Amino acid sequence: TKWVYSFSAGRSEGSASMKELLGGKGANLAEMAALGLPVPPGFTITTEVCAFFYTNGKTFPADLAGQVDAALADIGRIAGHAFEDPQQPLLVSVRSGARASMPGMMDTVLNLGLNDETVEAIARNSGDERFAWDCYRRFIEMYSSVVLGVEHHQFEEALERIKESKGFALDTQLTADDWRKVAAQYKAIVEQAAGKSFPQDPREQLCGAIKAVFSSWMNNRAIVYRGLHNIPESWGTAVSIQAMVFGNMGAQSATGVAFTRNPSTGVRELYGEYLINAQGEDVVAGIRTPQPIAQSASHASGFEKISLEAAMPAIFAEFKGYADKLERHFRDMQDMEFTVERGKLWMLQTRAGKRTARAALKLAVDMAREGLIGKDEAITRVEPQSLEQLLHPTIDPAAKRNILATGLPASPGAAVGEIVFDPEEAAKLASNGRKIILVRIETSPEDIGGMHGAEGILTARGGMTSHAAVVARGMGKPCVTGAGALRIDYEDQSFTVAGKRFGKGDRITIDGSAGQVIAGEVKMQRPELTGEFAVLMSWADQKRRLKIRANAETPSDARAARRFGAEGIGLARTEHMFFEGERIVAVREMILADDAEGRRLALAKLLPMQREDFKQLFEIMSGLPVTIRLLDPPLHEFLPHSDAEIAAVAKAMGADPVKLRRRAAQLSEFNPMLGFRGVRLAVIFPEIVDMQARAIFEAAIEASMSTGEPVDIEIMAPLVFTRAELDLVKTRVAEMAKLVEGETGIRPNYHVGTMIELPRAALRAGDIAPSADFFSFGTNDLTQTTLGISRDDSGSFLNAYVEKGLLPADPFVTIDQEGVGELVELGCKRARAANPTITLGVCGEHGGDPVSVAFFDKIGFDYVSCSPFRVPIARLAAAQAAL
């Protein structure tokens, strides 16, 4: 087997396409070298050796040593030095490199090959004794901590002691003799800590370093990083061995890192830093302050800065040429490492640079305009999910954060406001224009009003799928959950954290992207929906097949939906309106009434309010489809609990509180989610349908008079499992349409359809479809009912399912394609077969999840509907799915 692939300027056995075998670093070194860039010669040991190493008790294939020897000899010939040659010693670096870049996670050893003898040769050959001993002490330090497991701080302390005794502040003040002493002390430390002397044999050093790099694949840092980035353990790392070049050989030497464009803004400029007379890690180690690469760079303000451009103009020009060439070659922004050795430039690494969402957007659009990539590719260059960062106000990166506690980043964006603990009070204050952060131990459905009014939501308990998290994401509100350090005292209207007390009215900031709770008011940045964002979105819109609608019921959500490009409302939940202000009393009256007559009286009070809600929605959506779901939640949720609540309802109804309490007890349920809710309410209380249909029709007439646009009404029955339920609703709605026509002389134009959110409904889709103008798959409830998992109670175990690999993803975030997805697909097929003109859509969190959107596109849905803030994400995801 071929275990080793060589590279050197103009000649490489590997290439950039061989990342699986050579790792990202090795593959790109080979590619750079093949392009003719000045790359120090070297070779890469493949990831297959890593696999062998772990399956064979940390041993190497028998024929590896021979291949390494041959490759080393090659380097020696090209570099004019030879490994183990005491007169002209070759020094190498041993570098790790996985398939996906894992910056800083694994180990690298520099200056390998140095020992008590070769250090003298290096000193002689370079004519620079100080440099040689500086390299040697670096090597002892690096090798001992990486390979021999000697703790780093011991070396640092020894160095500090020597500097102190000399009265030096900077490493640069140390002389050759000083470094010689440092090296001797380092060796003594190793002898003590490792129980053996520092290895002098370069071959033993090399073998140890290769083993250590392979072993670093399984170090803790790397394991945690892989977990966070979904990198499989089976990939393994490659090891690249490369002739050393030296940036620490005096004033004409330097080392640096640079991006071809600004990775945080996307602006086209060489962005990076370098240090004169330094080696590798020094730039990031922060011992000295690095200088900017380009003189005009936007980050290079301040007069004391001396750019590479100013200090070494010829090197800068050469480097800029390579940067341009690499960017054109890889057709993406590059992140490069380089070293200058006595006026000669060497390229040490290139890879696609990590970037912020903002930069990714600008890069994609700019590169397409420059002709570097096509529009289709530009669409694929931006992670749809990452747009979320751009759609919410965020904390000004320059602002100082006084972090009080850290919880879960449950819903992105940042919010500032005054602390309020009571949801009703929060709603009231918010309607007076105050900015509120609602702080709760946990939230429940009754808190919706307060959550809606609040700028942001903070809870002490609960996970990423807790009620607060799900609702906040749906509303596009920043939310931090599970901030366990907060001690919330509702009685006292305060919380304490880190010994400090925060009371009602005190201002805090929450960062839902980072999960942080921050004291006081921190400066914000507004989202930017113009510029590159608008351009990329327009390209995406030309490509996608799926229509994108929004889930929205309030005017402000509906307006946001339009701003974000929604093509209609796919789900307006009428019950959200029922909790607002005084309405809840009328709703309770309706529920607790003894008979249809009593219900009608209460509903009559609700009618004008509902009509006004719908009218506003229709006006805002002018001409676009609006799907209104009939009353859905368990009545249980609306029941009064406290004596005061019962008394208020009793007064409004002129009824006996004792009787009312009994009635409320009758309606209370053991398992409301599977109880008296959805279309079942319409079956038992058809007056509710009458009222809602009337409100819809009358609102539509008013709205189309004010906008001059027809209203595209879709009336949707929830939780249907048999066609007869839908037919019952349809008949009722048709009768009301006739009634309204009789009263107004205007015939309402509307469609009736149903949600498909029970397995039985999906299975019987073929029966139900002929009665429906549309189906909207309610994948939230369908997931609950298919998996038998209550979303609100899943927090205690679902994460473990994902972590332990029992499920590939949280099924409430990404649709469970194998189970729920099969039901959805089956439902689609049967529906279309029975009713070819039926419109099929999805509402629910999955409508804004890129992976789920791709699935919905594949099985032929007409649209997806998601929360307003996810609309741009869905637009981009739908375009990527269509490519």
Q: Which residues are at the interface with ligand ADP (CB under 6 A)?
A: 40, 93, 95, 103-104, 108, 110, 242-245, 280-281, 337, 339, 348-349
Q: Find out whether 694 and 686 touch, Cβ atoms under 8 Å.
A: no
Single residue of 778, 827, 841, 850 touching Mg ion by CB under 5 A: 778
On whether 113 is known to bind a ligand per the annotation, the reply is: no
Q: Which is nearer to ligand ADP, 103 or 860 (CB)?
A: 103
Output the smallest distance, CB 797 to ligand ADP, in A.
38
Q: Which is nearer to Mg ion, 484 or 819 (CB)?
A: 819
On whether 629 is known to bind a ligand per the annotation, the reply is: yes
Long-range Cβ contact pairs of 735-743 (< 8 A, separation 24 or more)? 736/689, 736/690, 736/693, 736/694, 736/697, 737/693, 737/697, 739/694, 740/694, 740/697, 740/698, 740/701
Q: Choosing among ligand ADP, Mg ion, none, which partner's interface includes residue 227 (Cβ < 5 to 8 Å by kind)?
A: none
Q: Is 778 helix (H, G, I), strand (E, B) or coil?
A: strand
Q: How far apart are CA 286 and CA 283, in angstroms?
A: 6
Output the smallest distance, CB 249 to ligand ADP, in A.
11
Which residues are 525's β-sheet partners? 394
Which residues are 436's β-sheet partners? 418
Q: Choosing among ligand ADP, Mg ion, none, which partner's interface includes residue 772 (Cβ < 5 to 8 Å by kind)?
A: none
Q: Is 295 helix (H, G, I), strand (E, B) or coil?
A: coil
Give the type of residue at 824: V
DSSP 777: E
Which residues are 572's β-sheet partners? 628
DSSP H helices in 628-787: 643-653, 657-667, 679-684, 686-707, 723-744, 759-763, 765-768, 779-787
Q: How far apart are CA 543 and CA 859, in angstroms?
A: 17
Single residue of 327, 455, 567, 781 touching Mg ion by CB under 5 A: 781
Q: Find out whether 780 and 845 touch, Cβ atoms under 8 Å.
A: yes
**107 forms part of the interface with Mg ion (CB under 5 A):** no
Please pick, among 135, 479, 828, 843, the residue that the annotation labels catalytic: 843
Instruction: Give CA separation, 491 vs 418, 439, 505, in Å.
Output: 18, 13, 15
Output the smallest distance, CB 43 to ligand ADP, in A.
12
Considering only residues 63 to 102 of the shown chain, the ones binding Mg ion according to CB under 5 A are none
Q: Which is nearer to ligand ADP, 280 or 384 (CB)?
A: 280
On whether 374 is known to bind a ligand per the annotation, the reply is: no
On whether 554 is known to bind a ligand per the annotation, the reply is: no
Considering only residues 287 to 346 of the shown chain, the ones binding Mg ion according to CB under 5 A are none
DSSP H helices in 35-128: 47-55, 64-79, 118-126
Q: Choosing among Mg ion, ligand ADP, none, which partner's interface includes residue 245 (Cβ < 5 to 8 Å by kind)?
A: ligand ADP
Q: Which is nearer to Mg ion, 718 or 748 (CB)?
A: 718
Clarify whether 467 is annotated catalytic: yes
Q: Which is nearer to Mg ion, 38 or 407 (CB)?
A: 38
Q: Which is nearer to ligand ADP, 209 or 566 (CB)?
A: 209
On whether 780 is known to bind a ligand per the annotation, the reply is: yes
Output the smallest distance, CB 507 to ligand ADP, in A.
42
Q: Choosing among ligand ADP, Mg ion, none, which partner's interface includes residue 778 (Cβ < 5 to 8 Å by kind)?
A: Mg ion
How far apart, in Å, do the first and last CA atoms of the chain sit? 39
- Of residues 416, 393, 439, 403, the one with CA closest to residue 519: 403
Q: Find out whether 627 and 776 touch, Cβ atoms under 8 Å.
A: yes
DSSP 782: H
Output the smallest distance, CB 812 to Mg ion, in A.
13
Q: Which residue is nearest to ligand ADP, using beta carbons? A: 280
Sequential DSSP letters for 816-830: -TTTHHHHHHHHHHH
Instruction: Classify 554 in phi/psi space as left (phi over 0), alpha (psi -120 to 50) or beta.
Output: beta
Q: How far is CA 855 from the centre of its chain?
A: 20
Contacts of 465 (CB under 8 A, 6+ apart): 791, 794, 795, 798, 810, 812, 813
Please pick, among 452, 467, 636, 846, the residue that the annotation labels catalytic: 467
Q: Is 573 helix (H, G, I), strand (E, B) or coil?
A: strand
Output the smallest distance, CB 249 to Mg ion, in A.
20
Q: Which residue is nearest to Mg ion, using beta carbons? A: 781
Encoded tokens for 218:
């399984």
Q: Choosing among ligand ADP, Mg ion, none, which partner's interface includes residue 687 (Cβ < 5 to 8 Å by kind)?
A: none
Q: Choosing among ligand ADP, Mg ion, none, which partner's interface includes residue 108 (Cβ < 5 to 8 Å by kind)?
A: ligand ADP
**Angle ∠(730,735,738) on CA atoms, nearest 5:** 125
Q: Choosing among ligand ADP, Mg ion, none, which partner's interface includes residue 93 (Cβ < 5 to 8 Å by kind)?
A: ligand ADP
Residues touching Mg ion, count (CB under 5 A): 4
Output the smallest distance, CB 449 to ligand ADP, in A.
51
Output the smallest distance, CB 333 to ligand ADP, in A.
17
> Candidates 57-65, 566-574, 603-611, 779-787 — which segment interacts with Mg ion by CB under 5 A?
779-787
Helix (H) / strand (E) element for 237: namely strand 237-243
Output the smallest distance, CB 291 to ligand ADP, in A.
16
One symbol per residue from 704 to 743: x for binding Mg ion (CB under 5 A), - otherwise; what is it? ----------------------------------------
Q: Which is nearer to ligand ADP, 96 or 185 (CB)?
A: 96
On whether 11 is known to bind a ligand per the annotation, the reply is: no
Q: Choosing among Mg ion, ligand ADP, none, which partner's interface includes residue 481 (Cβ < 5 to 8 Å by kind)?
A: none
On whether 248 is known to bind a ligand per the annotation, the reply is: no
Q: Choosing among ligand ADP, Mg ion, none, which partner's interface includes residue 282 (Cβ < 5 to 8 Å by kind)?
A: none
Clarify whether 866 is annotated catalytic: no
- Residues annotated as binding site? 573, 629, 757, 778-781
Q: Which are the catalytic amino acids?
A: 467, 843
Binding residues for substrate: 573, 629, 757, 778-781
Which residues make up the interface to Mg ion (CB under 5 A)? 349, 757, 778, 781
